[in-house]
Amino acid sequence: MSILYRLRHRVVRASGSSWPQASKPSGFAMAKFSSSCVPKSRYWCWSLNRQLQSRRLYCKTIHCLQGQELPPVMTHTIKLLVVEDSVMTTKIIRHLCLKTGGIDARYASSRAEAISILDSEQDEFFAALVDLNLPDAPDGEVVELCLSRKIPTIVLTGSFSEERRERLLATGIVDYVIKEGRYSYNYALRLVKRLKANEGIKVMIADDSKTARHYLRDLLKRHRYEVVEAENGAEAIRQLMAHTDTRILIADYNMPQIDGFQLTQLLRDKYEKTDLVILGLSGEGQSSLSAKFIKNGANDFLRKPFNQEEFYCRMMNCVETLELVEQLRDSLRRDSATGLWNANHFRELATELLETNEAAEHVKPISIAVFEIDDFDKINADYGRDAADRVLRTVGEIVGEALSRFYACRQMGPTFAAALPGIDAARCVTLFDGIIARVNNHDIEIDGHKLNVALSGGVSDATGLSLDKHLEQAERRLQNARTEGGNYMTAG
């Protein structure tokens, strides 16, 4: 019996609820669930072997085919308030902020100065890094000030005691950092950036104890995670079906219907450890339980009651491991010369895009473009390989920025391809006219000379064609453009 049907029988038997009706899946299955389960016109995936990238691609594809513009990828600057009376410490933090980048810091040396900055700044501060003892606030009054303004606060302190630690954590601060050296300040700024990154990470808590769920939720919210709750293993499965972008599951061992250990076994048949992190929890006294959890698929295990700081450290390690795996996956899918997708990954993306569109109730236009740098061989011969690589990198940056919500790749040599869902050939040509103009007007510095390059391309948007047929048609039109002088995109 397949894992999907095992899950179905376990959930239905445990909860007494009905399972969404769909035909028995084979491989990657998409079922339109009944209106009692999800809102109409929403589609959910519950696949046997499809991993995180495919789920994200499906969501992005649906947005594109519905004509909804995806927001461009943006790098956000973090606005940070630093309150520190030590000139040397402030100097170190200022240097590290400039070195790491992405942090716009405001500096105060006293409580009065901090109040002035908070009152005068129009934009809210994302976080605060504050010294516990200041001349005009010797008992942590600045910490209370920042918390009263609902600013996530990281405390800097020169000394440590258990009593102070407990008192600080009870106030609701993010963390405290003992000023022991340069690494302490590095850790504090790393934690600030971690808070920003956590805003896009969804964590599910599966625990039958409402008190335990609320405690965990408060800890996670303090570190800016997005939180979903489930009161048992059966509900956790249903919630995972609805929240397919969940990255971490915190599962208690003792739960009715499906316990945490059984839930881990069931989910590991579907999700790899690098797609869904499972953190087991238990208050049981069995010393072998942690090994049992980990051997059967959990990424980590914590025994209750646990230390807040240990919980946060485990969470940070889990998240950073996920991100490292994502970076590795991304690097394997990228073209090293341009930073665009490589040809193999583009083929996977574009093929699935076309197939999803063909299966949709209302077929939307999809343009497949093939374009290349004119006279690239001459550039390589006249200026050398390093110059040719610089041209590729420059064109790749311009194309990547202009087509950030679509799919673009470098195929081979100076040839590129792109898939543009929701865009017909005429709109595609107009879009590429702008890209070509930007490439033409961009000066590429080579050995003291300014080099300007040109692009030529062709577009195919016929319905019912395979990716190979689209590429062939676009390449023929590319050759037509080159025959007629180049430096333009054609759809005919």
The answer, yes or no, to whether residue 48 has pLDDT greater than 70, is: no
What burial letters (b/e) apply to 260-293, b meaning 16+ CB within 10 Å? bbbbbebbbebbeebbbbbbbbbeeeeeebbebb
**Residues 147-188: tens digit of each pLDDT:** 999 999 999 988 878 888 888 888 999 999 999 888 899 999
Contact criterion met (CB below 8 Å) for 290 and 280? yes
Tell me the per-residue pLDDT of 186-223, one tens digit each, with 9 for 90 and over.
Answer: 999 999 999 999 998 999 999 999 999 999 999 999 99
Domain range holding 350? 341-490
Tell me the Cα Rg of the chain.
27
Q: Output the domain CATH number for residue 439.
A: 3.30.70.270
Residue 336, domain member (yes or no) = no
Q: Are 430 and 449 in contact (CB under 8 A)?
A: no
- What's residue 316's pLDDT? 92
Residue 115 lies in a domain: yes
Question: In whole angstroms, what is the distance from residue 490 CA to residue 478 CA?
Answer: 7
Domain identity same for 53 and 108 = no
Report, as an integer, the average pLDDT of 413-437: 95
Domain end residue (candidates: 296, 331, 366): 331
Does residue 433 belong to any structural domain of this protein?
A: yes
Asked if 464 and 379 sit in the same domain, the reply is yes
Same domain, 419 and 443: yes
**Mean pLDDT for the stretch of residues 357-374:** 92
Q: Give the mean pLDDT of the chain.
A: 84
323-355 confidence digits (pLDDT tens) = 999 999 999 999 999 999 999 999 999 999 999
Give pLDDT, residue 287. Answer: 72
The answer to whether residue 100 is domain-embedded is: yes
Tell me, yes or no, whether 443 and 380 share the same domain: yes
Average pLDDT over residues 89-99: 93
Report pLDDT digits (tens) over 241-260: 999 999 999 999 989 889 89
Pair (56, 115) in one structural domain: no
Beta carbons within 8 Å of 94's beta carbon, 6+ residues apart: 105, 107
- Domain for residue 376, yes or no? yes
Confidence category of residue 285, pLDDT binned at 50, 70, 90: low
Residue 438 and residue 319 share a domain: no
269 and 129 in a single domain? The answer is no
CATH number at 102 reads: 3.40.50.2300
448: left (phi over 0), alpha (psi -120 to 50) or beta: left
Are residue 10 and residue 116 in the same domain, yes or no?
Answer: no
pLDDT for res 304 = 87
- pLDDT attached to residue 229: 96
Q: Which of 144, 178, 196 is the last residue of a domain?
A: 196
206 shares a domain with 58: yes
Question: What pLDDT, on the 0 to 100 scale, is given for residue 208?
Answer: 92
Q: Does 311 map to a domain? A: yes
Q: Which of 277, 302, 331 is the last residue of a domain?
A: 331
The pTM is what? 0.70
Residue 165: Cβ within 10 Å count: 16
Do the domain assignments include residue 44? yes
Percent of the chain scoring above 70 in pLDDT = 84
The whole-number pLDDT of residue 38 equals: 33
Residue pLDDT, tens place only, 441-454? 999 988 888 899 99
Q: Which tops the pLDDT comparison, 460 or 6? A: 460
pLDDT surpasses 80 at 27: no
Identify whether residues 311 and 345 lie together within a single domain.
no
Residues 324 and 348 in one domain: no
Q: Note whether 192 and 203 are same-domain residues.
A: no
For the chain, how many structural domains are there in total? 3
How far, in Å, CA of 215 to CA of 446, rounded? 60
